[in-house]
Amino acid sequence: MISLNNLRQFKADGRKFSCLTCYDASMAKAMEIAEVDSILVGDSLGMAIQGRDSTLAVTVEDMAYHTAAVRRGNQHAFLMTDLPFMSYATLNDALVSSKTVMQAGAQMVKIEGGAWLSETIEVLTRNGIPVCVHLGLTPQSVHVLGGYKLQAKTREAADQLIADCQAVVNAGAALLLLECVPAQLGREISELFPNVPVIGIGAGLETDGQVLVVQDMLGLTFGRVAKFVRNFMKEQSGETAIVDAFKAFHLAVQDGSFPAREHTFQVEL
């Protein structure tokens, strides 16, 4: 089973690592066969599985249920789980929510925010709970951000995001996830923290890892498709098409062919 130390070593070795969202045992098993490095049980299940228009209605109990299913299906990948909306608003909430999903099988929890999370990160880390911090476009704050759109488009905003990254790393964040930021910023942040792996989604080619929502990369998104998405399923056929799509994603991340320029936001900062 891949560990946090493995991800750190991947970064040290310059080896890009793959990550996909997953919510059930059968898809988890297919990802195991394809040797996908890491899995995020994302609160994106609110939209992808439950048919909602945002992640906000997802509960800790939902996350624990799907985490347990994914862990039963996959004994290879490093497994992260989102703490959903308002489930870490207080330190006690964060501890109770984290305990629930860690006991369900997660190896790390993911929370959304910036420097204001520092005390929460310190407390969770002190209690043996590794933390990934999600910055940039943070879906739980979609109503504050005014929609799903590119973040940190100016030098000032980019520097603020870097300051937030520094604060959460100082507090003990073991992993960063950057969503929907300029490729230049993804590179800068990845270089700035040599001991903290950085996963990108719409954050350019030069982050240490890449993540996509599994339905997106299988072409199961109906309607508008985000710029940073590539459909890996349309290149496959036959009985093993889904596993082959996962393998293609994993290899494309490793060899640097994904994301291509058309999947990134090129903004000069």
CA nearest neighbour of 172 among 227, 120, 229, 215? 120
CA dist., res. 26 & res. 69, Å (int): 9
According to DSSP, the β-strands at 17-21 and 38-41 are: parallel
Of 112, 179, 188, 206, which is the active-site residue?
179
Cis peptide before 139 (omega within 30 of 0): no
CA dist., res. 57 & res. 43, Å (int): 9
3-state secondary structure of 131: strand
Q: Which amino acid is at 231?
A: N
Its sign, for the CA torsion 227, 154, 210, 120, is negative
**Residue 196 CB: number of other CB atoms within 10 A?**
21
Active site annotation includes 188? no
Our measurement of the distance from residue 158's CA atom to the centroid of its chain's CA atoms, rounded to an integer in Å, reads: 20
CA nearest neighbour of 199 among 211, 183, 188, 185? 211
Residues annotated as catalytic (active site), given as ranges:
179
